[in-house]
Structure 1
Amino acid sequence: MRIGPVAVAALPVLNGVLWAASPPHGGGRQVVGEAAGSTAVLLFATALVLATRARWLERFFGGLDRVYRAHRRAGTWGFAFLALHVAAVPWTLASPGGAPSGLIAAAGFAVLVVLCVVRRMRYAAWRRSHRLVGVFFLVSIAHALLVDQVVDAAPGPFLLLSAAYVAGAIAYGHTLVLARFVRPRRAYLVRTVRRLDPATVEVTLSPRGRRLAFRPGQFAFVTFHQRGLREPHPFTVSSAPSEEALRLTIRAAGPFTARVHRELVPGRRATVEGGYGMPAHAGRRPRQIWVAGGIGITPFLSRLRAGGPGRRVDLFYVVRRAEDALFRSELECYGGLRLHLVVTSDSGRPTAERIAATVGRLEDVDVHLCGPEPMTTGLAAGFRRLGVPATAIHLELAAFR
């Protein structure tokens, strides 16, 4: 397991240990409430740091997709501790500025966490709402300064809380002001827009200067400078790093990607930021199993276009209907690649047992999975039951926000 998720999970534990080691004077309810509140601050500060897209964070989590997953969990658990803080602390109006600022911060975080779990809202609205996380975090600093706290008399928790406020404020300032100047961005022009079927489009971008540097299987945040499409959105790059043009294969899976499919036209400018992610296509074993669900084929296309499989690979291309296998003819041309088309409307979803029956022994394979999360997590569990070690199973998170 990577150290990043462990560190995020350990923060509430560390805070609890510090509170137990140096408890301040005060009533039990007040101490419990402030301990919960300081834990909430730690988690919200963590969420702000993880939202910076700092490249160095990826190696601690296994890629930016997993950084964002930890970001979301930190925010959700932060609200849980904030709710406990609000319920436990005896509220008083003796501090005219402290109580209102605390309630504003709590209400703001509550709204944002609710938005985190709303999957059907427009991406642009979701993204704009999350810019306010830092605002409510700064309001919580005002709350802490305006009220009398027992944490001030607990050295350990006070130092950790102070460090969290500093880290969170710096991270928010970086995201709001500095990020646009330091993130790896390149200018491109939309050269072609090829609609492959009613839901999938292949966009080819030509560089307007230096090309984007990326590894096969990585993704990038792309902003199309066209009305209605100006929000940066993550897409896996399906071309090889050596290609002059950049190819994106996009499936209409929501309102934004549906607009890309329906409305994007050649000639528009685009800004591409990346590459992000830590795809593990190399592996250490002599054989590989790749399982791609639908648009999850894109990182494998990038790997193949960068020079073929490089070793014996069994690729299971999972689609609902045979005609959905848009890249079947290309995939059949790669030497060393055995293509297995899995049509779920005919044979049902793939299982680890059925895949093992097709490829034979599993002692010397690396397994790479990319596609809908229920499919990939189910297959990963199935391969572990069949004896494939967790270190040989690699999941790409095809969807995250």
Structure 2
Amino acid sequence: MKKKLGIIIVLLSIVITWMAWLFMEPVREISPMTGYSQLLASFSLVAFAFINFISTRHKILDNLFDGLDKSYIYHKYLSISALVLVILHNVTIDIGKKTERGLGIKGVKDPYAMFGSFSMYLFIALIFIALVAKKLNYERWKVIHKIMIIPYAFGIYHYYGSATYAVFSFKPYSVWLDIINLIGIVSVAYSIFFYEKLSFKYKYKVQNLEKVANGTLEITGASLGNDIDFKPGQFAFLKVLNKDSKFPSHPFTISQAPKKGEIQFTIKALGDDTKVLTEKLKIGTEFIVSGPHGKFDYKSGAKNQIWIAGGIGVTPFRSFAQSNIDDNFSVDFFYAYNNAEEGAYTDELQALSKDNLRIHLFNSKEKGFLSVEEISKSVNIKDVVDVYFCGPKPMRENLKKQFKNSKFRVLIFNYEHFQFK
């Protein structure tokens, strides 16, 4: 139930909107279709409020959606739903007006209608661009999402100008939507204008840089103030302000177990931004951190577990392994990497191996791709297990399918949903 709390709140908000609308009387005579059309618009405003709140990256989202990474799945589908509702509103409001003319209901010229249409068409264009930009890089994706404030502002303006209800009355429907819109407006203003200034509370200085694998850099930072309080497996947003190695905020798993006065990220150059970071970062450079986030925690799983890492996906598991696995858990950790040059922390992980944490290194150049068949050679398939995965999406989907078709009794296949480079 806790994992579904966020979607329950979203659905409950929709129900409250509908129930309040049932008891709201328009200020002039309208057709039923016009009324229903405005209800659809109200639903879209609820969706946009949640979309904007998710964009704040507030820590409460980890509890509402079982992790900030998962909240962005809801962000995606809420965005699609909101756009569909806006389009339906645009279609049905025209039908409603035609119906009113047919019934002889005197219409009123609406100078705010054009703002609604502009909002809709701009949303369509930006969402299309955002879908394409997702294939580019994280920073471009963020910029496009910030521009969303423009059609949202026009949509809010359209609502307060065009609604046939007393939008500033003390009727439950009006008060409820005013609260919803206030949440949306404050959230979008915070995420665009204040998040970068207020959320990055922790400051560090690079005290060590080490190449731990081909194209993979380990960054160790010494605290310049308060330490970030995190759990093994969580991620944080890192931002470098130095003009020579400036790096925009980006999510990375914290690759080391909690250690007073220190934080560590291990970053592989997978995209343009990360490549610049790994090439230009120097000892002494200061960086700031926001977070922590995430619910990727083996302690919430079953007694018997299988951990699978692909490439740089080793980072959360390294943090787990360093934190001393509780004796109540029995873990088999499979770490797959392309070749010896790209295997990070292999010696360290072997040294961390013990009775309840069995390390299985898998050099793909020598052994081929990791498969469930290979895993079954080292794990008792009769045990009920939870699988924890971190690595490339194609590898994840392939292994999920293999587990489904195997004799393994997998309770949950756990993974995080960030795929940004």
In the superposition, the TM-score normalised over structure 1's length comes to: 0.85
Distance change (3 Å), C-alpha of 1:177 and 1:369: same
Equivalent-residue separation in structure 2 for 1:400 and 1:119 (angstroms): 8
1:39 is matched with which residue: 31, 43, 66?
43
2 CA distance for matches of 1:63 and 1:159? 31
* CA distance 1:41–1:211, change in 2 (3 Å): same
Tell me the equivalent position of 1:370: 390
Output the CA distance in 2 between the equivalents of 1:102 and 1:347.
59
Q: Which residue in the other structure is 2:156 paired with? A: 141
Pair 1:329 & 2:347 matched: yes
Give the structure 2 partner of residue 313 of structure 1. Answer: 331
Partner of 1:291: 308
Instruction: Provide the secondary structure at the position in 2 that maps to 1:120.
Output: coil
Matches within 5 A, 1:14-163: 14=15, 18=19, 26-27=30-31, 29-90=33-94, 94-96=109-111, 98-117=112-131, 118-149=133-164, 160-163=176-179
- Distance change in 2, residues 1:324/1:12 (3 Å): same
Shift of 1:345: 5.0
One-letter identity of the residue aligned with 1:291 = I
Equivalent of residue 210 in structure 2, options 194, 201, 222: 194
Partner of 1:209: 225
Q: In the TM superposition, what whole-angstrom CA distance separates every residue of 1:31-51 from its partner, at most 9, and x where no partner exists?
A: 454333222221111111111
For 2:293, the equivalent position in structure 1 comes to 276
Q: Give me the whole-angstrom Cα distance separating, in 2, the residues matched to 1:166 and 1:304.
A: 44
Query: Contact between 2:387 and 2:410, CA under 8 Å: does it hold in 1?
Result: no
Equivalent of residue 250 in structure 1, options 244, 252, 267: 267
CA drift of 1:212 comes to 1.8
Partner SS for 1:220: strand
8 A contact 1:8–1:46 mirrored in 2: no
Q: Which one-letter code corresponds to 2:298 in the other structure? A: H
Determine if the alignment matches structure 1 residue 339 to structure 2 residue 359: yes
Matching residue of 1:267: 284
Matched length: 398
Between 339-348 and 159-168, the greater mean CA deviation after superposition: 339-348
**Distance verdict in 2 for CA 1:345–1:89, change over 3 Å:** farther
Does residue 1:231 correspond to 2:248, yes or no?
Answer: yes
Q: Which amino acid in the other structure matches residue 371 of structure 1? A: G
Any residues of structure 2 matched to 1:347-362 within 5 Å, and which? 347-362=367-382
**C-alpha displacement of 1:271:** 0.6
Residue 363 of structure 1 aligns with an amino acid whose one-letter code is D
Tell me if the contact between 1:151 and 1:157 (Cα under 8 Å) persists in the aligned partners: no
State which structure, 1 or 2, has the greater radius of gyration over its C-alpha atoms.
Answer: 2
The equivalent position to 2:186 in structure 1, one of 153, 167, 170, is: 170
For structure 1, the 5+ residue unaligned runs are none
2-structure distance, mates of 1:381, 1:19: 45
Identity, % of aligned positions: 25
CA–CA distance in 2 between the matches of 1:14 and 1:329? Answer: 56
**Deviations 1:334-364 (Å, cap 9, x if unpaired)?**
1323222334455554444542343013434
Query: In 2, are the aligned partners of 1:185 and 1:271 still within 8 Å (CA)?
Result: yes
Deviations 1:346-393 (A, max 9, x none): 555444454234301343433211112343345345545646354x44
The whole-number CA distance in structure 1 between the counterparts of 2:37 and 2:365 is 53
Report the Cα offset of residue 122 of structure 1: 4.2
What is the CA distance between 1:223 and its match in structure 2?
Answer: 0.6
Tell me the alpha carbon deviations over residues 134-190 of structure 1, each in whole angstroms, 9 at most, x when there is no partner: 34323211111222436979x776555433212212222333455457536211112
Which segment drifts farther, 223-232 or 58-67?
A: 223-232
Report SS of the residue matched to 1:231: strand
Measured after TM superposition, the shift of residue 246 of structure 1 is 1.5
- Per-residue CA shift, 1:314-333, capped at 9, x if unaligned? 11112233432122111111
Residues in 2 aligned to 1:93 and 1:109: alpha-carbon distance in whole angstroms: 27
The 1:181/1:151 distance shift into structure 2, 3 A limit, reads same
